[in-house]
Amino acid sequence: MTALLALPAFEDNYIWCYRGSNGASIVVDPGDAGPVLAAMADGLRIEAILITHHHNDHIGGLPALRAVFNGPVFGPADARISGIDRIVGDGDTVHTPGFRPFRVLAVPGHTRSHLAYTDDDVLFCGDTLFSLGCGRLFEGTPDQMLMSLDRLAALPDDTRVCCTHEYTLSNARFAVAAEPVNPERDRLIAEISALRATGQPSLPSRIGVEKACNPFLRSDHPEQLSGLARHLGYMPETRQARFSALRAWKDRFQ
Protein backbone atom coordinates (compact mmCIF):
# COMPACT_ATOMS: atom_id res chain seq x y z
CA MET A 1 0.00 0.00 0.00
CA THR A 2 1.46 3.35 -1.04
CA ALA A 3 0.68 6.76 0.42
CA LEU A 4 1.54 10.34 -0.51
CA LEU A 5 2.61 13.11 1.84
CA ALA A 6 3.20 16.69 0.70
CA LEU A 7 5.68 18.49 2.96
CA PRO A 8 5.29 22.29 2.66
CA ALA A 9 8.50 24.23 2.02
CA PHE A 10 9.33 27.88 1.34
CA GLU A 11 6.33 29.95 0.29
CA ASP A 12 4.50 27.51 -1.96
CA ASN A 13 6.68 24.42 -2.62
CA TYR A 14 5.80 20.83 -1.81
CA ILE A 15 8.38 18.13 -1.16
CA TRP A 16 6.64 14.88 -1.99
CA CYS A 17 7.17 11.75 0.11
CA TYR A 18 5.84 8.56 -1.43
CA ARG A 19 5.58 5.74 1.10
CA GLY A 20 6.02 2.24 -0.26
CA SER A 21 4.77 -1.18 0.76
CA ASN A 22 7.84 -1.76 2.94
CA GLY A 23 7.32 1.42 4.97
CA ALA A 24 10.18 3.33 3.36
CA SER A 25 9.65 6.48 1.30
CA ILE A 26 10.86 8.08 -1.89
CA VAL A 27 11.48 11.82 -1.46
CA VAL A 28 11.10 14.10 -4.48
CA ASP A 29 12.83 17.46 -5.03
CA PRO A 30 13.95 18.33 -1.48
CA GLY A 31 14.68 22.00 -1.98
CA ASP A 32 14.75 22.50 1.79
CA ALA A 33 16.20 19.84 4.09
CA GLY A 34 14.34 21.13 7.15
CA PRO A 35 10.89 19.62 6.50
CA VAL A 36 12.46 16.30 5.48
CA LEU A 37 14.71 16.14 8.52
CA ALA A 38 11.71 16.89 10.73
CA ALA A 39 9.76 14.09 9.07
CA MET A 40 12.72 11.75 9.54
CA ALA A 41 12.69 12.60 13.26
CA ASP A 42 9.03 11.51 13.24
CA GLY A 43 9.87 8.19 11.61
CA LEU A 44 10.21 8.88 7.89
CA ARG A 45 12.64 6.37 6.40
CA ILE A 46 14.07 7.40 3.03
CA GLU A 47 14.79 4.72 0.45
CA ALA A 48 15.66 7.02 -2.47
CA ILE A 49 15.54 10.63 -3.64
CA LEU A 50 14.31 11.73 -7.08
CA ILE A 51 15.35 15.05 -8.63
CA THR A 52 13.44 16.58 -11.56
CA HIS A 53 15.57 19.64 -12.37
CA HIS A 54 18.33 21.95 -11.21
CA HIS A 55 16.49 24.91 -9.66
CA ASN A 56 17.58 25.52 -6.08
CA ASP A 57 14.10 25.22 -4.61
CA HIS A 58 14.23 21.60 -5.81
CA ILE A 59 17.79 20.63 -4.87
CA GLY A 60 18.87 23.01 -2.11
CA GLY A 61 18.35 20.47 0.66
CA LEU A 62 20.48 17.75 -0.90
CA PRO A 63 23.78 18.55 0.88
CA ALA A 64 22.18 18.39 4.35
CA LEU A 65 20.27 15.23 3.49
CA ARG A 66 23.41 13.62 2.08
CA ALA A 67 24.93 13.96 5.54
CA VAL A 68 22.28 11.65 7.02
CA PHE A 69 21.21 9.53 4.02
CA ASN A 70 23.44 7.14 2.10
CA GLY A 71 20.91 5.80 -0.40
CA PRO A 72 20.62 6.58 -4.11
CA VAL A 73 19.78 10.01 -5.49
CA PHE A 74 18.39 9.83 -9.04
CA GLY A 75 18.38 12.78 -11.40
CA PRO A 76 19.30 14.21 -14.79
CA ALA A 77 22.75 14.62 -16.29
CA ASP A 78 23.18 18.29 -15.45
CA ALA A 79 26.42 19.80 -14.14
CA ARG A 80 24.38 22.35 -12.17
CA ILE A 81 23.22 19.59 -9.78
CA SER A 82 25.61 18.13 -7.23
CA GLY A 83 24.76 15.14 -5.09
CA ILE A 84 23.25 12.87 -7.74
CA ASP A 85 24.87 9.45 -7.91
CA ARG A 86 22.41 7.72 -10.27
CA ILE A 87 22.16 9.63 -13.55
CA VAL A 88 18.97 8.77 -15.43
CA GLY A 89 17.41 9.93 -18.66
CA ASP A 90 14.50 9.39 -20.98
CA GLY A 91 13.41 5.76 -21.16
CA ASP A 92 15.31 4.64 -18.07
CA THR A 93 13.62 2.80 -15.22
CA VAL A 94 14.14 3.50 -11.53
CA HIS A 95 13.91 0.38 -9.36
CA THR A 96 13.48 0.93 -5.62
CA PRO A 97 12.63 -1.80 -3.08
CA GLY A 98 8.99 -1.63 -1.99
CA PHE A 99 7.84 0.34 -5.03
CA ARG A 100 6.66 -0.32 -8.55
CA PRO A 101 9.27 0.65 -11.16
CA PHE A 102 9.28 4.29 -12.19
CA ARG A 103 9.66 5.24 -15.83
CA VAL A 104 11.78 8.30 -16.52
CA LEU A 105 10.44 10.82 -19.02
CA ALA A 106 12.42 13.69 -20.52
CA VAL A 107 10.15 16.74 -20.36
CA PRO A 108 12.19 19.77 -21.50
CA GLY A 109 10.65 23.22 -21.58
CA HIS A 110 10.87 24.68 -18.10
CA THR A 111 14.55 23.65 -18.13
CA ARG A 112 16.48 21.80 -20.79
CA SER A 113 17.25 18.74 -18.60
CA HIS A 114 13.91 18.46 -16.79
CA LEU A 115 12.74 14.92 -15.98
CA ALA A 116 9.47 13.42 -14.76
CA TYR A 117 8.96 10.07 -13.02
CA THR A 118 5.86 7.89 -13.17
CA ASP A 119 4.66 4.43 -12.22
CA ASP A 120 1.25 5.20 -13.85
CA ASP A 121 -0.25 5.57 -10.37
CA VAL A 122 1.60 8.76 -9.51
CA LEU A 123 3.49 11.31 -11.60
CA PHE A 124 6.25 13.46 -10.14
CA CYS A 125 6.49 16.19 -12.74
CA GLY A 126 8.39 18.98 -11.00
CA ASP A 127 7.60 22.31 -12.68
CA THR A 128 6.44 20.99 -16.06
CA LEU A 129 2.74 20.43 -15.39
CA PHE A 130 0.82 22.28 -12.69
CA SER A 131 -2.82 21.90 -11.79
CA LEU A 132 -4.57 24.28 -14.22
CA GLY A 133 -1.20 25.46 -15.52
CA CYS A 134 2.29 24.65 -16.74
CA GLY A 135 5.81 25.84 -16.04
CA ARG A 136 7.46 28.93 -17.41
CA LEU A 137 9.83 28.47 -20.34
CA PHE A 138 13.19 29.35 -18.83
CA GLU A 139 15.35 27.21 -21.14
CA GLY A 140 13.01 25.60 -23.64
CA THR A 141 10.69 26.51 -26.47
CA PRO A 142 6.88 26.41 -26.61
CA ASP A 143 7.08 23.44 -28.99
CA GLN A 144 9.28 21.53 -26.53
CA MET A 145 6.93 22.24 -23.65
CA LEU A 146 3.89 21.24 -25.68
CA MET A 147 5.54 17.92 -26.60
CA SER A 148 6.43 17.38 -22.94
CA LEU A 149 2.86 18.08 -21.83
CA ASP A 150 1.56 15.75 -24.54
CA ARG A 151 3.70 12.96 -23.04
CA LEU A 152 2.22 13.57 -19.62
CA ALA A 153 -1.33 13.87 -20.94
CA ALA A 154 -0.94 10.42 -22.54
CA LEU A 155 -0.63 8.80 -19.09
CA PRO A 156 -3.70 7.04 -17.62
CA ASP A 157 -6.43 9.45 -16.58
CA ASP A 158 -6.30 8.25 -12.96
CA THR A 159 -2.59 9.02 -12.60
CA ARG A 160 -2.11 11.33 -9.61
CA VAL A 161 -0.27 14.51 -10.61
CA CYS A 162 2.27 15.55 -7.96
CA CYS A 163 3.65 18.91 -9.04
CA THR A 164 5.81 20.92 -6.70
CA HIS A 165 4.07 24.26 -6.22
CA GLU A 166 0.74 25.35 -4.74
CA TYR A 167 -0.24 27.43 -7.75
CA THR A 168 -3.71 26.04 -8.43
CA LEU A 169 -5.94 28.94 -7.39
CA SER A 170 -3.59 31.44 -9.03
CA ASN A 171 -3.65 29.37 -12.22
CA ALA A 172 -7.43 29.17 -11.99
CA ARG A 173 -7.78 32.89 -12.69
CA PHE A 174 -5.97 32.50 -15.99
CA ALA A 175 -7.83 29.29 -16.85
CA VAL A 176 -11.14 31.16 -16.52
CA ALA A 177 -9.86 34.02 -18.67
CA ALA A 178 -8.63 31.68 -21.40
CA GLU A 179 -11.65 29.35 -21.38
CA PRO A 180 -14.61 31.25 -19.92
CA VAL A 181 -17.10 28.38 -20.18
CA ASN A 182 -16.02 25.12 -18.57
CA PRO A 183 -18.43 23.81 -15.92
CA GLU A 184 -16.13 20.93 -14.92
CA ARG A 185 -13.29 23.38 -14.34
CA ASP A 186 -15.57 25.60 -12.29
CA ARG A 187 -16.54 22.66 -10.08
CA LEU A 188 -12.85 21.89 -9.61
CA ILE A 189 -12.13 25.47 -8.56
CA ALA A 190 -14.93 25.33 -5.99
CA GLU A 191 -13.54 22.09 -4.54
CA ILE A 192 -10.00 23.46 -4.42
CA SER A 193 -11.13 26.73 -2.84
CA ALA A 194 -12.74 24.73 -0.03
CA LEU A 195 -9.54 22.72 0.48
CA ARG A 196 -7.32 25.78 0.57
CA ALA A 197 -9.69 27.57 2.97
CA THR A 198 -8.93 24.84 5.51
CA GLY A 199 -5.19 24.83 4.80
CA GLN A 200 -5.17 21.59 2.81
CA PRO A 201 -3.17 21.12 -0.42
CA SER A 202 -4.98 21.34 -3.74
CA LEU A 203 -2.79 18.45 -4.89
CA PRO A 204 -2.42 15.83 -6.15
CA SER A 205 -4.55 16.40 -9.19
CA ARG A 206 -5.21 13.71 -11.82
CA ILE A 207 -4.32 13.55 -15.50
CA GLY A 208 -7.97 13.20 -16.55
CA VAL A 209 -8.91 16.26 -14.52
CA GLU A 210 -6.15 18.31 -16.09
CA LYS A 211 -7.13 17.27 -19.61
CA ALA A 212 -10.66 18.47 -18.89
CA CYS A 213 -9.77 21.69 -17.08
CA ASN A 214 -6.22 22.91 -17.80
CA PRO A 215 -6.08 25.31 -20.77
CA PHE A 216 -2.49 24.31 -21.54
CA LEU A 217 -3.69 20.76 -22.24
CA ARG A 218 -6.62 22.02 -24.31
CA SER A 219 -4.98 23.84 -27.21
CA ASP A 220 -6.65 21.28 -29.49
CA HIS A 221 -10.06 22.75 -28.49
CA PRO A 222 -10.02 26.20 -30.12
CA GLU A 223 -13.81 26.43 -29.88
CA GLN A 224 -13.45 26.46 -26.10
CA LEU A 225 -10.62 29.00 -25.90
CA SER A 226 -12.79 32.03 -26.65
CA GLY A 227 -10.86 34.10 -24.12
CA LEU A 228 -7.66 33.60 -26.10
CA ALA A 229 -9.39 34.75 -29.29
CA ARG A 230 -10.65 37.87 -27.53
CA HIS A 231 -7.22 38.57 -26.08
CA LEU A 232 -5.46 38.27 -29.45
CA GLY A 233 -8.25 39.51 -31.70
CA TYR A 234 -8.05 36.26 -33.67
CA MET A 235 -7.65 32.52 -33.10
CA PRO A 236 -4.28 30.99 -34.06
CA GLU A 237 -4.71 28.24 -36.64
CA THR A 238 -2.50 25.52 -35.15
CA ARG A 239 -2.46 24.00 -31.68
CA GLN A 240 1.25 24.82 -31.43
CA ALA A 241 0.52 28.49 -32.11
CA ARG A 242 -2.39 28.44 -29.67
CA PHE A 243 -0.22 26.92 -26.96
CA SER A 244 2.55 29.44 -27.58
CA ALA A 245 0.05 32.30 -27.39
CA LEU A 246 -1.43 30.94 -24.15
CA ARG A 247 2.00 30.67 -22.52
CA ALA A 248 3.01 34.17 -23.63
CA TRP A 249 -0.29 35.59 -22.34
CA LYS A 250 0.09 33.81 -19.01
CA ASP A 251 3.59 35.29 -18.58
CA ARG A 252 2.05 38.78 -18.59
CA PHE A 253 -1.28 37.93 -16.95
CA GLN A 254 -2.24 39.96 -13.88
Pick from 130, 148, 120, 125: which is nearest to 215 by CA? 130
Cβ neighbour number for residue 83 with a 10 Å cutoff: 14
* Domains of the chain with CATH codes: 3-252 (3.60.15.10)
**Average pLDDT value over all residues in the chain:** 97
Q: Does the structure show a pLDDT above 80 at 1? A: no
Rounded distance, CA 233 to CA 205, Å?
32
Global pTM reads 0.96
Rounded distance, CA 113 to CA 210, Å?
24
Residue 100 pLDDT = 95
Rounded distance, CA 154 to CA 164, Å?
20
Chain segment 131-141, per-residue pLDDT in tens: 999 999 999 99
Give 8's strand partners: 14
Report the share of the chain in percent with pLDDT over 70.
99
